[in-house]
Amino acid sequence: MRFLLRQATKSTVVALLLGLLLRLWFIHYYPVIEGDTLVYGEIARNWFRHGTFGLMRVHGIEPTLVRLPGYPLFLGLCFLIFGVYHYTPILLLQAIIDLATCLLVAGFCVRLISRRAGIAALYLAALCPFTANYVASPLTETLTLFCIALGLYALARYVERPGFTPWFWVLVFSISYSALLRPDGPLLGLVLVPAMFWYARPKIPTGRSVRLAILCTVIAMIPFVPWTIRNEVSMHSFQPLAPRYANDPNEYVPHGWIRWIRSWVAEYTSTADTYWNVNGAPLDITVLPSRAFENPAQKAETAKLFDEYNKTEILSPALDAQFSSLAQQRIRRHPLRFYVLLPGMRLVDMWLRPRTEQLWIELRWWQYDIHPAETIFSWAYAALNLAYLLLATWGLRKHVPFAPVMVAYAIVRSLLLLTVETPEARYTIECFPMIFILAAAALTVRTHTPATISESPASSSPS
């Protein structure tokens, strides 16, 4: 990676400057400080100011486990430096971190593919609006992308000289902190740890390679020991990560409602229109797609349940049970749709939908007659997203080093997302460091095969 910094060619400087301007543009015009951001911010304030990792409730600050401690830790440290709830400096810091992610991706390509690929990867990453957009939101995405890029680069360096080198500890950090940020963060370790073992075997005995991989896993899990103990002591709940539905142990989870949602939701619009409205906002049956009903009788029953809910805007256990019964009817009639087709449709939506969720774009962006400019923009965004994916797919033909690791991460992440009932495009954004690398390989004439990595000029240069 030093090649990109030491040589500081015109193209490198231009890429970083353009990337910085893009991120500053998002911060200025599209900052999003609401929803989960406020939850993270409140937890961080209470943790650092009052010593309680918790949220304000009726009886004061109460412990919570609805979020992992990784991002509140980051926010808390930023609050100490910049002041509580001063988010603009945090967004600027995230812009710098995201540019560091771009450099890591480029450094990986320089070392293992070619210098041309490194420059291509730098431009692809620095000018990608989808990842850049997230620096304008105090959420986990920017730090997660950094951990993934850092983990990939550290893996490449570790494999060159396996052992207790600094890159071993960098790998430990990237795996551990990624898991501390999000409940799906352990997927990075699930992929990188076996890769540590597999790719190090030619250079060290198999037994030593196994021991190093196991040790990396054990050390990366150490921060979860106090977290799990704290949850057991304070919350009386064994929870090493965070609950699937972001609920504290004493909070009611409407499983019947969720099961009914899973029986018809296939895209993000329904998530925002219906799923997020429950408990606190009215439900509107007119926004439901036709697949939410199988016949007029079922539509009438759904309308009746919505009317009952709208009287209080609270989903009671009794009402939840009725949604569960309705869901069960639908599942019995069309099990293939519930277990296969709808999960597949949700996954496709998360990969291919225009990534405008952080922009002020209408949910129904495809309604050209109502907002033509937003429709055109959204289709352009969708085309750009598809171009990145197609380039990355083509890059797989170039035998990119560690490509199996990148593909494995995309696969395990996609398998996990098949279980998610509320699709959001941000759930696939974590794959973009790999997409940048593979797309850069597609744009270069030739690449090195894994067997010749150590002999390539790019990999032999110091970094």
Average pLDDT of the segment spanning 383-403 = 95
The whole-number average pLDDT for the span 31-53 is 95
Please state the domain extents for the chain: 2-244+434-460, 255-338
CB of 402 within 8 A of CB of 155?
yes
Of 94, 103, 93, which Cα lies nearest the Cα of 124? 103
| Rounded Cα gap, residues 354 and 139, in angstroms | 20
Write the pLDDT tens digit of every residue in 171-186: 999 999 999 999 999 9
Buried b (16+ CB within 10 A) or exposed e, 372-408: eebbebbeebbeebeebbebbeebeebebbbbebbbb
Residue 445 is predicted with a pLDDT of 59
Tens-place pLDDT, residues 326-337? 999 999 999 999
Cα distance between residue 11 and residue 122, in whole Å: 9
Question: What is the model's pLDDT at position 133?
Answer: 97
Distances (CA, A) of 442 to 220, 437, 446, 458: 34, 9, 9, 18
| 39, 55 Cβ separation under 8 angstroms | yes
Question: Residue 60: what are its φ and ψ, rounded to 5°?
Answer: 110, -165
In this structure, are strands 60-63 and 54-57 parallel, antiparallel, or unpaired? antiparallel
Q: What is the pLDDT of residue 156?
A: 96
Vertex 199, ends 198 and 202: CA angle to 5°? 100
Which pLDDT band, with edges at 50, 70 and 90, does 1 fall under?
A: low
- What confidence tens digit (pLDDT) does each residue in 312-368 have? 999 999 999 999 999 999 999 999 999 999 999 999 999 999 999 999 999 999 999
Write down the pTM of the prediction: 0.92
